[in-house]
Amino acid sequence: MNAIISASELASELAGENPPVLLDVRWQLTVAKAAGEPPFDGRTAYRAGHIPGAVYVDLDRELASAPGSRGRHPLPDLAEFGAAMRRAGVSSSVPVVVYDGGQGWAAARAWWLLCWTGHPDVRVLDGGLPAWQGSLETSVPTAAEGDFEPTPGATGLLDADGAAALARSGVLLDARAGERYRGEVEPIDPVGGHIPGAVSAPTNDNVGADGRFLPAEELGARFKALGASEGTEVGVYCGSGVSAAHQVLALAVAGIPAALYVGSWSEWSSDPTRPVAVGPDPQ
C-alpha cells in the first residue's frame, strides 16, 4: 500500500462507496515570536476552511503528551490517543487520510502514530491542503464514533539508548536543518549539535518546490547516498519527533522501513551526560 495519496485520488475516493476518514492536522512549530504576534492556531485555520468531512486533530494535545524530560512531543497516552481517534471517526476497517497545511510534518506524525498502533490503511495527502483543488467547508462535521483500539507495534520505535546504538550499528538520520545538526545554531533546545554517529539528512530535501514528495526513485537514490537502503537498519530523529516522522514517511515512499526516535534531540539534549557531536562530521 502506498503511504501517500494525491489530491485527485482523494477526491475520487471521497466520492466513492467507501470514503476514507479524513483528518485535518494543521500545526506549525512555535518558536519565539516578535512581541504581539500570536502563535499559529490550527483549529482556527480549520474552522476557516477545510476539506469537506475532515475532522480536526490537535497535534500538541492528541498526538503527543505534555513536554518534559522525554522531549517536547513525547508519545501520547495510548488510551487518550485511542479515544481521540475514535471521536474523530477512526475505525480499523475504514481507510484514513491525513493532511495538514502543506509542510507535511504534522500529517506524518498522525500517519506514523496510527501505523505504529496498528491501523492497516493510513495515507498522507501529498502536498497537503494547498494541493487540494476542490471546495472547502467551514461547518464542523459530527463524526460517527469509530472503533479503533491502538495496539503499539513491537518495532519502529527508538528510545535514546536505541538511537545511540543504531548510530553505530546501522544508519541514524538527523532530519533537522544542517545548521542545527552542525551545532551552529540552536533556537529551541539547550544544546546544539547531533547524536554522535548520526548522518545529516534535512527533511526539506525530500520534497520539491510544490511541497510534494520527490518520486520514489529519487528518494531511494537520496537515501542510498546517505547509507540508508533496503536491508539496512534505519532510524530517524529530529527536534521533537515531528519532522522526523515526515522523514520516516519519505523512507516508506522509497520502500525503506525506518524507526522513529520520538524523544529526538529535545530529549537527548536535556540530559547533560549524553554525548554531543558538532560540525559536519557524524562522529
Q: Is 115 designated active site?
A: no
Three cell numbers, residue 152? 503499539
Q: Check 195, 201, 238, 259 and give the catalytic one.
A: 238
Alpha helices in 2-134 (DSSP H): 7-14, 42-48, 59-62, 78-87, 105-116
Calculate the CA dihedral of residues 38, 39, 40, 45 and round it to 10 degrees: -40
At a CB cut-off of 8 Å and minimum separation 6, what does 198 contact? 167, 172, 173, 174, 181, 237, 277, 282
Angle at 271 between CA 268 and CA 276, to 5 degrees: 60
CB contact at 8 A, 231 and 147: no
Q: Which residues are annotated as catalytic?
A: 238
